[in-house]
Amino acid sequence: MSQSKTAGDLATLVKGRLVGDASVPIEGIADLENAGEREIAYVDNEKFFAIAEQSTASCLLVAATALSSVAFRAPAIIEVANPKLAFSLIAQVLYPPVQREPGIHPTAVVAESAQIGSSAFVGPHACVGEYARVGTNTRIESGAVIGANVEVGNECVIHPNVVLYDGVSVGNRVILHAAVCIGADGFGYVRNNMGYHKFPQIGTVVIEDDVEVGAHTCIDRAALGRTRIGRGTKLDNMVHVGHNCDIGERVVIAAQTGISGSVVIEDDAVIGGQVGFGDHTRVQKGAVIGSKAGILPGKIVRPGVWWGIPIQPLDEYKRMNAHLGRLGQMREEIKQLKQELVELRERLKEK
């Protein structure tokens, strides 16, 4: 259920400059093309100015440069430095998170030694193990499993069917989407005469504050020590993080990326979708890795934009792609040159 605010309220919220009617009621958000009465949209690029001029939204968020060049029809305009960020902040206010009545559902199974914080919610058929601790205002949704000696901080949202294996730690304001699995054994084996012998997987996983993990993502426990996901990091759906990885703060990783064991990704790195990491690689702060890239074991990825298999600087990748695009033409040219060479040799023999 959305909330209602005035354009003036929202301008104050995002520290923007209001132009127009501050009393216009705003009840929802929408994209620029479909926004209508009582809705707000944003314009963050000149290519959308023509659409913005025709928009029937009650309020628009625009950059400072737009007001001088576009005649907007909206009754209220909010000028901000970053319209997309302001739009996101407003969405949080108009669509506050779902609130649950505090308490433990009758079908939930909660160990007597577990500690459930005040105002926490434990949903239907959830399970909380021995000596687990769940913080204040945290939501444990239906079917989630919180193992023994697990710590879950305050104001977390644990969505349906999440599994937290024994001994893992989750910080404050963490969101784990449906079917996330944290703390399963890492993929560690030692070869012997009979095949493979399992290497001990007795470490833990530490998820720091303000992390969000997408649905069906798996984060393995360390063999020894810990696997870490740093503060403010965001993982997309179906990401795999291997044992003993150390992922820094404010890292973003897109879907279907696979990270082998003992990989280090430093703060503020950006990882595209379907990237494959060999073990013991290091991604330095400020690196951006494009989708479907492949990183060989032990590689150090320095700051900059990288792409390709094996990974290479973006400019080199573009040059290589340009060459590959000409392979068909080059093949025909080589065939023609070989034919000309044969003919030249024949003429020389005749002389």
What confidence tens digit (pLDDT) does each residue in 155-170 have? 999 999 999 999 999 9
Reply yes or no on whether the pLDDT at 1 is more than 60: no
pLDDT band, very low/low/confident/very high, at 68 (cuts 50, 70, 90): low
Question: 10 Å Cβ neighbour count for 255?
Answer: 17
Average pLDDT, the chain: 92
Q: Is 243 in the active site?
A: yes
CA 249 – CA 270 distance, rounded (Å): 11
Least confident interval from 263-267, 282-286, 315-319: 315-319
Asked, as a colleague might, if the bond just before 310 is cis with ω within 30 of 0, I would say yes
Smallest CA-to-CA distance from 179 within 125, 142, 153 is with 142
DSSP annotation string for 287-315: EEE-TT-EE-TT-EE-SEEEETTTTEEHH
Which pTM value belongs to this model?
A: 0.85
CA 50 – CA 1 distance, rounded (Å): 32
Catalytic option among 105, 243, 280, 323: 243
Give the mean pLDDT of 314-333. 76
Contact by Cβ (8 Å): 33, 124: no
pLDDT band, very low/low/confident/very high, at 131 (cuts 50, 70, 90): very high
